[in-house]
Each structure stands twice: as structure tokens, then as C-alpha cells.
Amino acid sequence: MSVDAAPFQLGDVGGVGPAVLCLHGLTGTPYEVRQPAEALAERGFACLGPELPGHGTSPEVLAATSRSAWLEAVLGAFDRLAATHARVYAVGLSLGGLLTLALCQRRPVQGSVVLAAPLELSRAVRWAVPLLAPAIRSIPKTSDIVDDAARARHPGYRRMPLAAVRELMRLQREVERGLDRIESPLRLIYSRADRTVRLEDAERILRQVSSPDPEVITLDRSGHVLPVDLERERVTKEVVDFLYSFVRGRTLMAELPGAAVKRLLTSHGGGLRSSGSAVELAVAAAEGYIARLAQEASASAQRDKRKTIMDTDIQRAKEALGG
């Protein structure tokens, strides 16, 4: 059975509604995060699933790719979404989860779901990779997926470049040093059956971030590639429920300014630039304008009420005087 491993855009990417940046893992493809993205798109989110640098080509290309190239690609994808979408969220698996944490340290992400992000590899790997990487370019790789059928159809490289693992380890250290700078809402999903990432990594993240009420969801049966393994339906539900909680209950009054701003920017073409800051300022101005209209309407209603009372009092006085 073939699967779609290509980068994806789902929903109204380039619109003004909520958007989600979806990031895959090391040696993987956007397919790894496509199922939760499709479910999010059904709820009205615009979802962008880019292919990280060094992927979709060959292990040799990945071996020559730096962690800065991964991060720059993620920041660029976020900025693309933020240029029009007022609220941008993120979902990342493994390396994608680590990059999601790095993104939260550098951009105003509205909320994130981090799936099995490795904060630190095992001691044996940390010791062996720096020694072996100069001499051994790559080693055979089998995806850590418990579901046999899912593992058989899973796309991605069949070899792991050790130079890429070394870059991952360097990124891990950089991300952990800045965990306390993460203040946006955060949900972690890890599995006890994961042979690649330890559950303790989730606890370390929880202890160090400054997010309001961060929480870890613990699975029992899935391997490392959570969105495609045995508990994929639950993973999708947890992702959708968490991110949808930020847009559920938003009133038409709150959504109207963004749509109005989009029409304004479109109608004026080159006269206005649809940068993220311009949209945010315009949305704020529109919301302020609508709030003032509501206040004026309330004041008008109060004046009408006082006038009605006064008219009633005058009529009663006339009646009392025999008028």
C-alpha cells in the first residue's frame, strides 16, 4: 500500500483563520504528521506540512544538512503562515517536536503539541556517535513502529546518517538551555513503549518550561512514530482537542475583524502589505472599533430607556393635574 509522503497544504493556507505548522521526524516525511493535520483541517485549521531540509532526497544529503538549516526552514514556514493567519499553532514529531520547542523560543506560537521529542539520547549513543561519525557515514535503520502494517508502509530513509544524529544532539543541548523561555500553551504526548525516546524527557521538559499548565499524555502501546502507530486515533484526538480548545467558543464578533481585514488587504492590493504585524494591528483596530460601536449602542439604549421613563413621568404628572 502506497502513502502520500509529499509536503502538504490542507485547508485555507494563506487565509486568516487559525493555522498549524506540522513537522515530521528525522529521516521521515510529512506523512508522519498528515493524519492529525487532516483532522485539524476538517475542524477549520489551515495546515502546512513542509519537508525538512535534507529529506526527500538521500541520506547523503541529510548527512550534509545542518541543524541551522532545519531551524531556518521551520522559522520561514512559520513566518509564511503568520503573514496572514492571526493565530499559528504547531505540531511536531521527534526532531519535528524538538524544532517545535525551538520555534516556541523564537516566535509567538499560540499553542503546540510535541510528540516524542528526544531531549537527550541514551548515554551509549551520545558516546558512540562523535567517535564513529567521522568513519561511518550511516547505519541501517528500522522505524520504531509496533504496528506491522504501519511499519511496512512507512516511507523514509532506510539508513540513518550519523552526522545528522550529531546535529540532532547539538540541537538538543541548545533547545534545553532555552526551555524556560517557552511561555505558550504546551501539550506533550509520549509512549512507554517508545524504544527511541525516554519518558523522562517529557518530565524534564515539563519541569523547565514556563508554559501555563503544561501536561503530558502517556501512551502504553505505541512505538516512536506516534501518529501512525497502534494508538494513532487517540493521538489525533488529543492533538485536535488541545488545539481546537483555543478556537472553540470564539464568537462571530471575534472572527469578524480578521475576515474584514483580509478583504481590506485584498481590495487595496499594493496599497497595503499583508505582513503579520499589519494584520495584527488591523485586527486590533477593527476589534476596538466594534467594541466602541457596542459601547455606543449600549449608551444609546440607556438614553432611550431614560427618555422613556421621563416621558412616562410627565404623562403621570399631567394625569394627576387633570391634564
What one-letter code names the amino acid at 111?
A: G
Residue 189 and residue 91 in contact, taking contact as beta carbons nearer than 8 Å: no
Q: How big is the chain, counted in residues?
A: 323
Among 16, 44, 11, 47, which residue's Cα sits nearest to residue 30? 47
* 44 DSSP β-pair partners: none
Per-residue confidence (pLDDT) for residue 134, from 0 to 100: 87
What's the pLDDT score for residue 279?
A: 45
Give the long-range contacts of residues 124-131, CB within 8 A, separation 24 or more: 125/165, 126/169, 129/162, 129/165, 129/166, 129/169, 130/166
What gap in Å lies between CA 96 and CA 170, rounded to an integer?
A: 15
CA distances 187 to 29, 107, 168, 191, 202, Å, are 22, 17, 22, 14, 10
Give residue 274's pLDDT.
42
Q: What was the pLDDT predicted at 280?
A: 45
pLDDT by residue, tens only, the chain of 323 residues: 679 999 999 999 999 999 999 999 999 999 999 999 999 999 999 999 999 999 999 999 999 999 999 999 999 999 999 999 999 999 999 999 999 999 999 999 999 999 999 999 998 899 999 888 888 999 999 999 999 999 999 999 999 999 999 999 999 999 999 999 999 999 999 999 999 999 999 999 999 999 999 999 999 999 999 999 999 999 999 999 999 999 875 533 344 444 444 544 454 444 444 444 444 444 444 544 444 455 555 556 566 655 555 565 556 555 555 54
Query: How do beta strands 88-93 and 112-115 pair?
Result: parallel
> Residue written as cell 469578524?
256
pLDDT of residue 302: 62
The DSSP element (H or E) to which 123 belongs, if any, is helix 123-132
Phi-psi category of 11—alpha, beta or left, where left has phi over 0 and alpha has psi -120 to 50? left
